[in-house]
Amino acid sequence: MADAGQVSQREAAPPHIIVRDLTMAYGSFVLMRDLNFIVRRGDIFIIMGGSGCGKSTLLRHLIGLVEPAKGEILYGNVNFTRADQTQRAALLRRFGVLYQGGALWSSMTLAENVALPLGEFTDLSPAQLREIAALKLALVGLKGFEDFYPSQISGGMQKRAGLARAIALDPEVLFFDEPSAGLDPISSRLLDDLILELRASLGATIVVVTHELASLFTIGNNSVFLDAESRTMIASGDPKVLLETSTNPTVRKFLTRGEADNGERSHA
Amino acid sequence: MSPAQNPDGRKREAVVLEKKSDSSLLVHLQGKWQLGHDMPSSSIVAEALSAQPAPARLGFEASELGGWDSALISFLVATYDLCRAHGIEHDQSGLPAGVRRLVELAEAVPEKQGARAVVKRIPFFVRVGDLTEGYIAAITQTFAFIGDTTIALSELVRGSARYRIVDLMQNISDCGPGAVGIVTLISFLVGVILAFMGAVQLQQFGASIYVADLVGIGMLREMGAMMTAIIMSGRTGAAFAAQLGTMKVTQEVDALTTMGISPFQFLLLPRVVALVLMIPLLCLYSDLMGIVGGAFVGVSMLGISPTSYMRETIHALSMTNLVLGLIKATVYGALIAAAGCLRGFQCGNSSSAVGDAATRAVVTSIVLVVVACGVFAVVTNFLGI
């Protein structure tokens, strides 16, 4: 199968993000401990788990908004947790993040939102900036919306505009926080297609926080499963493989929408 | 027991109990069991279940039941709980099918152990420790904020700060021209009040003309700066906290940080600079309006001619007082902007946290302004200014 071939090829890809013995805590309250996983270059890596188990917090650790209570995060061979200011800034420049609500800057138009990171880190002229911003917006299907303010467009469009901003600098790693939350099934499907397209065209590594089953089976080729009860990860690997082989009842229940545990119950 | 009404207007019981020969209890449900329809009381059933000798079984009969909704379900669930507590069998075959299904649904998942909030007594020393930790964290945060702000300001001085001129202009327009109306009103009234207060005393010595001195010096040295600061902390300080707090809630601040753009340069600088630039101008304007207010009282009520009031005012005013007032206003402005931004950046992750941030910004900035005013008073007194 071509798909399986692709997967095995990716297994051989060099590690991109390495998480070692990560413990996440708010003050003295430990949220998750002993997280160990590797995201390889070109992976679409899913962080999954029930609501409130710390998926988004793990994402915030990965992008450096929260410092680990213990353990470390490495990007390639750079230790992100121990990096100095310049190393850190250089790494941040290669990240693209799509926040849950889009997090567009509300006082700026869409074009200005996309152009801001470009203007910060390149020497483009204002005309060129605008041109590239328009291109990025066109890539996410928002051609012609350059001069709209975030409050003037719908939630799904805000999310896509957020994506345009996230890919403004052609990032090496893209982070998505619940990309399909608040989107209708068709928009969320289109977003999935867009994510696959971005991986193919940018060659980026993609980390997605989601609990949308349809989406995580479609796009994910590696994952980590966080469990709120035991406060650690209880599974990792390709979600499709996990669905077939995992013996952990919590993981099975999650991946089958609770049907694995009570198969005897009729669903007519 | 509250009665339900029959169509013919006669009052009727909602629950009628019938004791059967085989020591079972049959409950006849009648009339409307709906929320907001003068809900029938069900205490009679509870009493019957607790009575001795207790019935062995509980049954229902609902042929005369009118409309029903959650009111009935809640009554039944409570009754079943009682039955279980007293070891009484219950049989719900006499109830409508919809009612049975809803009751089953309500009882399908057993109560989760430990889900109910338990009121725990926290030992005194633990509480003291927690509070101390909280204060230490707050102090650390404040120092970190002062440090970050200083770094941003030094970047600004070196000309390498990143912020948008548009944002600066927008903030200048909000803090300056936008506040003129309210400053006019308040300052004029403060001038009027000062003049009245002075006039009562000074008239007794026939020295009403010195009202001009009182108002002039009072406004320039103290009240102009103080009133402007109070207005701006309520108006602009709160706005800063609410804006930054909302940006924190919507993760706009996070988006800046992960893009490697310092929120302190991008968000705080334009606000602090705008307020520090605008507040001396507002203070100057406030001084003027206060003097106009004093003159209004002096001319219209104390019978002082406009020219002599003006001559006396000019005589009383000194450059020292004017400059001192402007310096005070600038310091107040910096404190208000910093307090507003600090509280905004400290904001939690909910919409109520934004409200709290705005409230705390106003409280903090007014406290800081009054403390600074006290420090100025002591220092100027010491220096003999």
What number is the average pLDDT over the span A240-255?
A: 88
Contacts of B170 in chain A (CB under 8 A): 107
Contacts of B250 in chain A (CB under 8 A): 101, 103, 106
Rounded to the nearest 10 degrees, how much is the dihedral formed by the CA atoms of B63, B65, B71, B75? Answer: -40
Residue B317 sits in the same domain as residue B218: yes
- Of the candidates A243, A190, A197, which has an alpha carbon nearest to the alpha carbon of residue A215? A190
Using the Cβ of B136 and the Cβ atoms of chain A, whether some distance falls under 8 Å is answered with: no
Q: Which of A37-46, A168-177, B46-55, B337-346 has the lowest mean pLDDT?
A: B46-55
- Cα nearest neighbour of A88 on chain B: B260
Whether the per-residue pLDDT at B12 is higher than 70: the answer is no
Residue B270 sits in the same domain as residue B370: yes
Contacts of B257 in chain A (CB under 8 A): 64-65
Q: Which of B66, B92, B108 is the last residue of a domain?
A: B108
Whether the per-residue pLDDT at A15 is higher than 50: the answer is yes
For residue B141, is it within any domain? Answer: no
* Contact (CB<8Å) A99/B257: no
DSSP code of residue B51: S
Residue B274 sits in the same domain as residue B365: yes
Whether the per-residue pLDDT at A71 is higher than 70: the answer is yes
DSSP code of residue A14: P
Using the Cβ of B255 and the Cβ atoms of chain A, whether some distance falls under 8 Å is answered with: yes
Give B115's pLDDT tier (boundaries 50, 70, 90). Answer: low
Question: Number of A:B CB contacts under 8 A?
Answer: 48
Distance from CA of A210 to the nearest CA of B (A): 18
For residue B115, is it within any domain? Answer: no
For residue B144, is it within any domain? Answer: no
For residue B307, is it within any domain? Answer: yes
In this predicted model, which residue has the larger pLDDT, A232 or B42? A232
Residue B58 sits in the same domain as residue B172: no
Residue B260 sits in the same domain as residue B330: yes
Using the Cβ of B261 and the Cβ atoms of chain A, whether some distance falls under 8 Å is answered with: yes
Sign of CA dihedral A79, A81, A82, A85: positive
What number is the average pLDDT over the span A225-251?
A: 88
DSSP lists the bridge partners of residue A222 as A45
Mind giving me the DSSP string for A202-229?
H--EEEEE---HHHHHHH-SEEEEEETT
What number is the average pLDDT over the span B299-324?
A: 94
Burial B259-279 (b: 16+ CB within 10 A, else e): bbbbbbbbbbbbbbbbbbbbb
Q: What's the confidence (pLDDT) of residue A5?
A: 43
For residue B35, is it within any domain? Answer: yes
Contact of B31 with B2, CB cutoff 8 Å: no
Q: Which of A70-84, B57-71, B145-159 has the lowest mean pLDDT?
A: B57-71
Using the Cβ of B257 and the Cβ atoms of chain A, whether some distance falls under 8 Å is answered with: yes
Whole-number Å distance between alpha carbons of B329 and B340 = 16
Give the domain CATH number at B98. Answer: 3.30.750.24
Nearest to B258 among A63, A105, A116 (CB): A63
For residue B151, is it within any domain? Answer: no
Residue B301 sits in the same domain as residue B215: yes
Give B374's pLDDT tier (boundaries 50, 70, 90). Answer: very high
Helix, strand, coil shares of chain B, percent, nearest 5, are 70, 10, 20
* Contact (CB<8Å) B162/A101: no
Q: What's the confidence (pLDDT) of residue B41?
A: 65
Residue B198 sits in the same domain as residue B89: no
Q: Is residue B335 classed as helix, strand or coil in its secondary structure?
A: helix
Domain holding B89, by residue range, is: 4-108
What number is the average pLDDT over the span B282-310?
A: 95
Contact of B231 with B186, CB cutoff 8 Å: yes
* Contact (CB<8Å) B251/A120: no
Using the Cβ of B39 and the Cβ atoms of chain A, whether some distance falls under 8 Å is answered with: no
Contact of B334 with B276, CB cutoff 8 Å: yes
What number is the average pLDDT over the span B53-66?
A: 82
Whether the per-residue pLDDT at A36 is higher than 90: the answer is yes
The per-residue pLDDT of chain B, averaged, comes to 88
Classify burial at A184, counting beta carbons within 10 Å of its beta carbon; exposed 0-12, middle 13-18, buried 19 or more. exposed
For residue B210, is it within any domain? Answer: yes
Residue B188 sits in the same domain as residue B328: yes
Contacts of B254 in chain A (CB under 8 A): 60, 65, 97, 99, 103
Using the Cβ of B252 and the Cβ atoms of chain A, whether some distance falls under 8 Å is answered with: yes
Classify burial at A265, counting beta carbons within 10 Å of its beta carbon; exposed 0-12, middle 13-18, buried 19 or more. exposed
In this predicted model, which residue has the larger pLDDT, B88 or B312? B312
Query: What are A247-251's contacts with CB under 8 Å, separation 24+?
Result: A250/A225, A251/A225
Q: Is residue A31 classed as helix, strand or coil in its secondary structure?
A: strand
Tally the domains of chain B: 2
Whether the per-residue pLDDT at B337 is higher than 50: the answer is yes
Residue B80 sits in the same domain as residue B182: no
Residue B195 sits in the same domain as residue B331: yes
Q: Which of B75, B90, B108 is the last residue of a domain?
A: B108
Q: Which of B108, B125, B151 is the last residue of a domain?
A: B108
Residue B175 sits in the same domain as residue B30: no
* Contact (CB<8Å) B252/A103: yes
Q: What's the confidence (pLDDT) of residue A45?
A: 94
Nearest to A97 among B162, B255, B261 (CB): B255
Whether the per-residue pLDDT at A183 is higher than 90: the answer is no
What number is the average pLDDT over the span A60-69?
A: 91
Using the Cβ of B254 and the Cβ atoms of chain A, whether some distance falls under 8 Å is answered with: yes
pLDDT in tens, A75-118: 988 899 898 888 888 888 889 999 988 899 998 999 999 999 88
The residue type found at B99 is V
Whether the per-residue pLDDT at B2 is higher than 50: the answer is no
For residue B59, is it within any domain? Answer: yes
Residue B180 sits in the same domain as residue B57: no
What number is the average pLDDT over the span A176-185?
A: 84
Nearest to B254 among A93, A99, A121 (CB): A99
